[in-house]
Amino acid sequence: MRIAVIRFPGTNCETETIEAVRRAGGAAQLIDYRETSLGGCDGVILPGGFSYGDYLRSGAIARFAPVMQPIKALADTGGIVIGICNGFQVLCEAHLLPGALLHNAAQRFSSRPVDIRIERADLAVTREFAEGECIRIPQAHGEGRYVADAETVAALEADRHVVLRYVSVPGSDMPHNPNGSVADIAGICNPAGNVIGFMPHPERLADPVLGSDAGHRFFTSLVQAGAVEMTG
Amino acid sequence: MSHETRPTALPGEPPVTEELVRDHKLTDSEYTAIRSLLGDRTPTLTELGIFSALWSEHCSYKHTKPVLRRFPTTGPQVLQGPGENAGVLSLPDGWAVAFKIESHNHPTAVEPYQGAATGVGGILRDVFTMGARPVALLNSLRFGPLDDPRNRYLFAGAVRGVGDYGNCMGVPTLGGEVQFAPCYAGNPLVNAMAVGVLRADDLITARAHGVGNLLINVGASTGRDGIHGASFASEDLSAESEARRPQVQVGDPFTEKLLLEASLELIESGIIVAIQDMGAAGLTSSSAEMAARGGVGVELDTSLVPTREAGMTPYEIMLSESQERMLVVAEPHQVEAIQAICRKWEQDATVVGRVTDDGLFRIVHHGQLVASIPGQPLVDGCPVYHPDAAEGPEAVARRAATPGAPDVDPEEALRRLLDAPSIASKRWVFEQYDGTVRGRSVATPGGDAGIVRVDDTDFGIAMTVDCNARHVLLDPFEGGKGVVAEAARNIACTGARPLGITDCLNFGNPERPEVFFQFVEACRGISEACEAFGTPVTGGNVSLYNQSPTGAIDPTPTVGMIGLLDDVRHAVPSTFRQVGDAILLIGTTRGHLGGSAYWAEVLDAVVGPPPPIDLPRERAVQEILIAAAAKGWLGSAHDLSDGGLAVALTECCIGGPWATVTFGADIDLARHADAVSDHGWLFGEDAGRVLLSCSPEHVSALQALAAMHGESAHYLGLVGEPEGDVVVRRDDRRWSWPSRDLRRIHLDAIPRRMSVPVLAGES
Amino acid sequence: MMFRVHVRVTPRPGLLDPQGTAVEHALHALGFAGVGGVRVGRAVDFALEAADEAAANADATRMCERLLANPVTETFTVAVES
Amino acid sequence: MMFRVHVRVTPRPGLLDPQGTAVEHALHALGFAGVGGVRVGRAVDFALEAADEAAANADATRMCERLLANPVTETFTVAVES
Ligand SMILES: Nc1ncnc2c1ncn2[C@@H]1O[C@H](COP(=O)(O)OP(=O)(O)O)[C@@H](O)[C@H]1O
Ligand SMILES: [Mg+2]
């Protein structure tokens, strides 16, 4: 699988995201938001950053960029589309995922590690984890409070579309939920499981040189998923 | 363009009267100098504005030049010293680091959010103007006490502004400091530092040359923002200056991110001659300084500059401080290539002038010549002043004084120290700053210094900003040395070697002898320390007139230091990691309480001489840390600063900002420095001391290493159980605190105070 | 014809509005006891060239539906003046 | 008496409004060519208990001056309805 990493004006996590994919043995390519095709890539990551400065609402303007057309098409045909942080916000604004991400409940930007539980270990970015496994990776956002109406949330839970959840670990004196997301939701997927969005940043902690590579397996999973797809 | 030689006033433009001259903060003698420079004619309004900007303290350094010249600025590692937008030091494998610190104090006093945000935007431009990609930010903040709602408002707004700008730019903030003291209530300080990396051979400087080359305005269009910002930054804050407040500069980090990418691509493509950001005094200083550096003239046509508002005059266009703008010099045949790159990043690129051979700084507006000034003297012809410097009697008295209040029981005293916002954890602050974007952060805020890995190499850049203004106030010379010494200690604690500094000299009104004495002496102290450590000054920024109706601020010469860590895998954390590790103290304890945080925060007395700084011994301590880290002997290393041993031991035990365990500790001070008082031992701030932890088998090796450098590593005790007590014994005395309680106090001090609402209005 | 358009975008009723709650607490703390049910949203003002007021209204409404408001979380009102 | 108060807080004229600019560009890109001078601010709605409309107005204005608007960078308008 070849991963298209999308750059909108204001995207700022594209470099480390591409590096993380390559470190996991995958192929990644930077794609400009003005493109109308994915240049032969069969997977997409919408990386973090501040597309269009997060003006109006994060992801609200990026949603209309030309590149979103081929991305929607890929998603509709079951192709893998991942949104990290700002990418997650774009996917919600584009209605490829339900709900919305609003300003953190504390009304402050929150940059710190979060403890998250892997709720689904059968998806493109989680297959290298065990279900229920907890890891600590960085998170940094001002608009990460996931909200959706009661029915939507109930459906997400019932259909197990919650992929990552904030959990509290003993001894931590930070609120385990950094932004007030409903049901401690940190990441979700669409019914088919091929469109996945989450707020934390595994790509920022995917290299042992930094003291931990807790995020590395998101990308080995992704590369695995690609391999399986090709053989199977 | 224009062929007239004598500039004329525009229709409807006010005549230049003595009053108007005074309005522009130019003295009679300066005005006389200007007239003779112009061949004894009266300047036009535009010319007057240009002079007032470039001859302001902020741009001309007219009070400080002679003092700054004494800084050591050379060394084998220096690729670019003072005089450019940022200093540059060489790193291994052909890499280099560009870094600079700058103040945005007055704008922050007026509008904290935008003032702080545009401060960060400005310092980032200084760094990428050199061809460096910004990889880290730091910030040094000073505010009045948090019990006052106005101070909470300024603090909260500035922190949000610093965060929002850097976060949107995708540059991690890896360090800083925050202090609170009454003297900053009317005059908060916001100093922002940016660090960038580049390939040494991509280094580009801001020198215009090549007669006939074009000047190109890149980036945002020009509005009436911050007109007179430069002279505004050079006067005391008063009710009257509030009234004459310039249009607030609004930052647009989104545009700056695109401008950053466009600028770096322009530089890498090699199609431009020079590039310079438009900071204070915008187009005026950028064009005049580029011309002067290159020894050429320039002619600008202000009617070509893209403006945000209709009907802007050349005066306004030349003095506007609209953000996110760059000035590029290029050969005419490159203009289209330049515009193509700018279009890719959605930035305007407009030709606004050309390089000339007559050495004149000429401004044309719709064909009319409105300014014609000899370029060189315009930039460095401002009269230089040598103010009187004399220590004030109250300063002498302060240094000689001792606290009136009796000592406070050590267990209670430590709790109060940890609850003092200046000493407490700054987690509430740096949690609002993205610390991990770019995926190269080896050490985020919370330790002694931040560390960022250079691209995919093994080495990293360590960085810190420090200033103990209380020590500088009590003894500017020793305090000045101390600022550099603490910064170097912070760098060395991570295992990195100090390479060089940038400084931000925040002082009061230099025309007051007691203030200028502080300035001269602090600079002398900084110079001596930099000489001793081999860490040259590569640039910096002077902010004077930090003077509110309530008086001058404490002298605050903030130092930003850069260090090199050969292998980021050997980075040493600042907190204990392992039960049973040995705790060692490097350095000599004399129980020096003068100028200490204990006296200031607990006994409410900012008095006494600050600790003397022994530079050779500081250097020795640095060498010990660097060697021990390289050998992998250190579990942790943390320098002793505010609050002395008790606070440092606490910080080592309670863990970093996100830790889930605290450690107990059991140390015994008996048989060490017996003559020292209990409070001196616990809270004294003798310099050159570091608290280490290491696995027991390395103790003797560490002690031998220390001895080899003429220092001693005193064995104090052991790291205790998780969630255990912090115990300090001395002969028949025993003090103890539950480590979890100490952590709670340290972490809650600021959030508790900030949970009270902050006001937007009533500024 | 040129019109001035004033758009208000507010959080859907029932949706939690922490900013509104924080502002309400702050107002109470400042002694404004009579305040309740504070909701904080967005105000968007602009000039709009349109054939007539009805057309301006229709355009502005489309803008809200497509960009200015997020139907999942927000409601909007449009006011047009000439 | 209970009143409903609608406050609009907008960036001062002449001040750069990057958000407004971004929204304007987006609207143009979506084909809304007739839009110009977009300014984005805050809308604050609340209920207010006051003696009469004049008092409600005065209270709301004080709230804007003290908390809801930043006098350095923003202007505000207050609309009261009963
Ligand atoms: N404004 C700030 N921004 C980022 N980090 C900060 C800020 N203020 C303090 N810190 C971080 O908090 C930690 C403690 O600060 P400080 O007590 O000044 O350290 P030190 O005493 O070692 O200089 C350091 O890691 C510092 O980088
Ligand atoms: Mg300190």
* pLDDT tens digits for range B299-358: 999 999 999 888 899 999 999 989 999 999 999 999 999 999 999 999 999 999 999 999
CA B27 – CA B12 distance, rounded (Å):
26
- Residue-wise pLDDT for B184-242, tens only, equals 998 999 999 999 999 999 888 778 788 899 999 999 999 888 776 445 555 565 555 44
Distance from CA of B757 to the nearest CA of C (A): 5
Verify whether the Cβ–Cβ distance A55 to D29 is below 8 Å.
Answer: no
Q: Residue B728: CA atoms inside 13 Å, Cβ hemisphere, count?
A: 19
What's the whole-number average pLDDT of chain B? Answer: 93
In percent, how much of chain A has pLDDT > 70? 98
Instruction: Give the Å distance between the CA of B633 and the centre of ligand 1.
Output: 25
DSSP D1-46: -EEEEEEEEEEPTTS--HHHHHHHHHHHHTT-TTEEEEEEEEEEEE
Residue type, B249: Q
Which chain D residue has the Cα nearest residue C58? D32
Q: Which residue of B has its CA nearest to A85?
A: B437
Between strands B325-330 and B214-219, the pairing is antiparallel
Q: Phi first, then psi: give them for residue D42, nearest 5 degrees.
A: -115, 145
End-to-end CA distance of chain C: 8
Distances from the Cα of B292 to the Cα of B52, B274, B345, D50, D63, angstroms: 17, 13, 30, 65, 52
- D59 to chain C, any CB pair closer than 8 A? The answer is yes
Provide the total of helices (H) and of strands (E) in chain C, helices listed first.
Answer: 2, 3
Name the nearest CA neighbour of B432 among A200, A140, A186, A54.
A140
Contact B169, B251 (CB under 8 A): no
Helix B615-631 to helix B476-493 angle (10° resolution) is 10
Across the range C61-69, mean pLDDT stands at: 97
Q: Is B495's C-beta closer than 6 angstroms to any atom of ligand 1?
A: no
Given CA atoms B748, B752, B755, B761 in this order, what sign does their dihedral have?
A: negative
- Provide, as residue numbers in chain C, all residues whose Cβ is less than 8 Å from the Cβ of B756: 29
Cβ(B301)–Cβ(B1) under 8 Å? yes
Provide the pairing of β-strand B556-565 with B497-506. antiparallel
User: What does the block give as tokens for B629?
Assistant: 């880290």
D14 to A78, B256, B309, B384, D39: CA distances (angstroms): 49, 20, 7, 37, 11
- Residue written as token pair 């008295």: B397
Choice from B162, B430, B441 to test ligand 1 binding pocket (greatest atom count within 8 A of CB): B430
How far apart are the CA of B446 and the centre of ligand 1, in A? Answer: 6
Q: In whole angstroms, how far apart are CA B407 and each of B470, B593, B680?
A: 20, 12, 11
CA distance B444 to A210: 11
Asked whether B103 and B556 are in contact (CB, 8 A), the reply is no
| pLDDT over 70 at B246, yes or no | no
Query: For B6-43, what is each residue's pLDDT tens digit?
Result: 899 998 888 889 888 998 889 999 999 999 999 999 99
Tell whether C30 lies on the interface with B, counting CB pairs under 8 A: yes
Q: Which residues surround ligand 2, an ion (CB under 5 A)?
A: B 641-642
User: Mutate which of A50, A58, A61 to test chain D, going by most D C-beta atoms within 10 A?
Assistant: A61
Instruction: Convert the pLDDT of each residue in B664-722 to its tens digit.
Output: 999 999 988 889 999 999 999 999 999 999 999 999 999 999 999 999 999 999 999 99
Q: What is the ipTM of this complex?
A: 0.95
The continuous run of DSSP H or E covering B723 comes out as: none
- Using DSSP's 3-state secondary structure scheme, residue B333 falls into helix
The model scores a pTM over 0.90: yes
Mean pLDDT throughout C50-72?
96
Closest chain A residue by Cα to residue D42: A56
- The pLDDT tens digits for B84-112 are 899 999 999 999 999 999 999 999 999 99
Q: Is the CB of B139 under 6 A from ligand 1?
A: yes
Token look-up 């959706």 returns A148
Q: B108 CB less than 6 Å from ligand 1?
A: no
- Nearest-CA distance A60 → chain B (Å): 15
CB contact under 8 Å between A55 and D30, yes or no, is no
Report long-range pairs for A23-28 (Cβ below 8 Å, ≥24 apart): A23/A206, A23/A207, A23/A216, A23/A219, A24/A206, A24/A216, A24/A219, A24/A220, A24/A222, A24/A223, A25/A220, A25/A223, A26/A1, A26/A219, A26/A222, A26/A223, A26/A226, A27/A1, A27/A2, A27/A3, A28/A2, A28/A3, A28/A4
A145 burial type by CB count under 10 A (0-12 exposed, 13-18 middle, 19+ buried): buried
* Active-site pick, A93, A119, A128, A203: A203
pLDDT in tens, B540-598: 999 999 987 778 999 999 999 999 999 999 999 999 999 999 999 999 999 999 999 99
Percentage with pLDDT > 90 across chain B: 84
